[in-house]
Structure 1
Amino acid sequence: MLGCMTTDTPARLLQLLSLLQTPREWPGGELADRLGVSRRTVRRDIDRLRELGYPVQASKGSDGGYRLVAGKAMPPLVLDDEEAVAIAVGLRAGAGHAVEGVDEASVRALAKLEQVLPARLRHRVSTLQAATTPLTSGDGASIAPETLTVMASTVAGQERLRFAYRDREGGESRRLTEPYRLVSTGRRWYLVAYDLGREDWRTFRVDRVREPFATGVRFAPRELPAGSAAEYLRRSIRRRQETYEFEVWFAGPVEVVASRVPEWIGTPEAEADGGCVLRGSSGDPVEWLAVRLVMVGCEFAVRGPGELVECVRELGGRLSRAGAAGG
């Protein structure tokens, strides 16, 4: 016997899609019971989902089943309340620090999700995050996720962004910008933008930004005076800070090393011996760069500068002693 008939087709399709997104095969009879409709209606609804681009696979048998399989396209997902809150909290936790791998795409995803979350769920997300403390964090300054999501939405929507900014000397100013990209260095977030007041390109440390406001005014993107936002940031940091040049040889294919080294540090170049060389400049402490080189996961040799060579040697000795003590 059927349950209460679901006559609202869009609502029924969303409910059906939510069921199919559970990683299991659903017998047609069970879906019909869950939805309160006939098996024929379930088959018609399955056809509608396929027309919308959802890859629903059917199995043969006395009570044929259905499952949602991976496809080339990614139609919209349907999340229940608990799933939406869990994803938002996870993205917020990663966005609060410039965690490597949590890049602009992740922040854009968070901006899109929070834009459509009902107020009751946004409140749950904020409450849960306020009540928890991460065990680990990046070594850069913390950032309010709301600041990143506002910035990411203006980057994606090509919308002018206004904010208060504190420079490294402590001076306060108001900026009106055309945001281009958010860049994570693994320690901090930066905004690369065209500053309308200065009539020039600028980079801004996001942890120094306050009161970001999307003005709603659209703009046509300008041509960045560099190959990429990461390259522009690297040049900008080099101009502002006392930097040092470094050269490191890796005993690994250039493709592997390139995939494990942030673009802003530099681009490795292949060598005839099958390894590759990474050359660049940095304003970060040599201790931080030494640890970052170890994290690449390949044998390597530092060719310069001397301070980095000595730092790696001391780090290696310390790790060896720690390993021996642990044994």
Structure 2
Amino acid sequence: MSKSKRLMELMMTVNRKRKFTVGELAREFGVSQRTILRDLQELGELGVPLYSEVGPHGGYQVLRERLLPPIAFTEEEAVSIFFAVHALRHYSSLPFETESSSALKKFYAYLPEDVRERIDQMKNRVDFVTPARKAVSPYLSILLDAAVQQNVLLIRYQAREKSSDREIQPIGIFTRNGHWYCSAYCYRSEGMRVFRCDRIHSAIPSAAEALDLRHIHLENKASAGRKERSEVRVFAELTLEGAETCEAEPWPEPKLTRREDGTGWLQGTIAREDLSYFARFFIGLGGGATVKDSPELLAEMKAMLAELLGKYS
């Protein structure tokens, strides 16, 4: 067996065994223990996380991080994977920021030279533009783990008006228009909410009993069951500019519908407690939106506009 083939099989073997001795590997591969020791040293230099223990019951073991076995990619698959990870470089925060950077460097280093040259030529000719954001989201990994493990978190959330402590059970995180968002069940609101991750200033485990939300994920969160809450209907006509602005918003309701000419409308329901938020939103759209339904929303908008007019009159 050639050395390169032996090293590859040895890497898969130690990853499978997790704990082993040099003698066991020497017998399995039919080589001397000295050869196995040299091979293990080379695997360590390649990044295999090995740990040795001395004593009568000692040996080697692979640390917590498992290694995936070698996977063969076509040239086109390799290029597509590289750019999929490369596209994330514009984000100031990522759930696995250190790991994605390390993976990209390893992936690039072991590509054939001609494929690396092709990628180098393409780097400045293709990009996935994301708005640059100064705000960072340091709790992305914690939020994602909580969504997977069905855990409740106590967060300190900085809304525009004030800071508050909330208990939430995340169901997933997503990014849009350069910002990261967390969809979660909010125990205070007793319903699903979307939180801007850069406005979460702390996130620690909560003692609250978790709900069974395994069936809820990012694809079906809009139809997830919730307790009855006071809601307000909304209908607004949108110009082309207004419809384009609304496309960047993360909330599932009110729902945006576009016409063939690019204009559209928003229709649906919002929580009564969110009236102030949507009033500011529609005022910010200016002539891009015309609210035609919801007396409550129109009253909130008029009150805000009267206060603003009084400030400058």
TM-score of the superposed pair, with normalisation by structure 2: 0.40
